Structure 1
Amino acid sequence: MTCTTASRVLPGSATVVFDRLTTLPLHESLIPFTRITARPGPAQVGDTIVAVTGRRFRDVMLVTRADPPDGAPHPRPGVATLEKVGPVLLGSATIQVTPLGPRTCRVDWTEDVHLAGPLRLLHPLLAPALHLMTARALRLAEDAVGTRRR
């Protein structure tokens, strides 16, 4: 298994950022060369998502957790977990949005995955690629979630 986490502090309420980051079609603007088939709106437990990267690599995911953040009286992070069921990646992706105040939050995006079948020979390349992908996605997320201060 390869586990990598990218983190970033974003402006905006944790609730708004969580809703936008779990609206999975938005990820097309965050992950290069990827098309996503998913229900519009924030992810819900039981949703199936299909991401196709480079017209070739299918990543099928099932939402197994979708708990939005709670800000009062004791802030609780929002957590969305997507189980990767193949055919290329197996494991999970988790997006956690932690309130840091009324207008700021921290996003932690963790990929805990491995390659399936014969692709597992490429496993040494997986961690750096996933970390670059998630770090880049979080840099772009500030614009994509529409919370950047002008």
Structure 2
Amino acid sequence: MARFTVTHQVEAPATAVWSALVDWRRHGDWAPLTRVRVTTPRPDGVGAQFVARTGIGRLAFDDPMTVELWQPPGGDAPGDAPGRCEVVKSGRVVLGRAGFSVLPLAGGRCRVDWDEDVTVTPHRITRFAGPALSLTGRLGFGATLRAMAKDVERQAR
């Protein structure tokens, strides 16, 4: 398995960051070469499903996901309950789990922790290249979280 966690502090309230992160279609605004479409009538809550398509032309792949845990943050003040969302990835290329937490901090800020535990097919790729995949994931999702933060911070002003 390729495992990684990325943490980023955002200069915006936890509830605003949560709203941006669970607006699945917006992920395509932050992640290069990615488009996201929701495949269930409701985009929110446990059971919501969506597909991220990443790549160009024949080099693109679908990453279907189903929400298994949905706990919005309890508010924006320190001590309020953090938000947590977890999805199961069930594609032909990427399998496993992903999730994020949004922890309210003082001063209208929050911290996002994004974690993934995935296998890439064929499985031998993950077995031999797990550390490289983890590093690539950390770098890619770090850039995605920074882009999301800029977007949400701009809107929060």
Gaps of 5+ in 2: none
Q: Which structure's residues are more often helix, by fraction?
A: 2
Equivalent position of 1:25 in the other structure = 25
Question: Does 1:45 find its partner at 2:52?
Answer: no
The residue correspondences of 1:68-87 to structure 2 (distance < 5 A) are 68-71=72-75, 74-87=79-92
Kindly provide the CA deviation profile for residues 79-133 of structure 1, in whole angstroms up to 9, marking residues without a partner as x.
01111011111111101100012510000110111113x2x23321321221111
Contact in 2 for aligned 1:5/1:131 (Cα 8 Å): yes
What is the match of residue 66 of structure 1?
70
In 1: Cα distance, 2:156 partner to 2:99 partner: 26
Partner SS state of residue 12, structure 1: coil
1:53 CA displacement: 0.7
Deviation, 1:142, is 1.5
State the partner residue of 1:93: 98
Query: How high is the sequence identity, in percent, across the aligned residues?
Result: 36
Letter in structure 1 aligned against 2:53: V
SS in 1 for 2:97: strand
Q: For structure 1, which segment, 67-76 or 27-36, has the greater mean C-alpha deviation from structure 2 after superposition?
A: 67-76
Look up the equivalent residue of 2:10 and give its one-letter code.
L
In the TM superposition, residue 147 of structure 1 has moved relative to its aligned partner by 4.5
Question: What is the alpha-carbon root mean square deviation over aligned residues?
Answer: 2.2
Identify the residue that residue 132 of structure 1 maps to in structure 2: 139
Query: What TM-score results when the alignment is normalised by the length of structure 1?
Result: 0.88
For structure 1, list consecutive stretches of 5 or more residues without a partner in the other structure.
Answer: none
The number of residues matched between the two structures is: 148
AA of the residue aligned to 1:92 = R
Contact preservation (8 Å) 2:73, 2:83: yes
Aligned to 2:111: 106
Consecutive aligned runs of 4 or more in structure 1 exceeding 6 Å deviation:
39-42
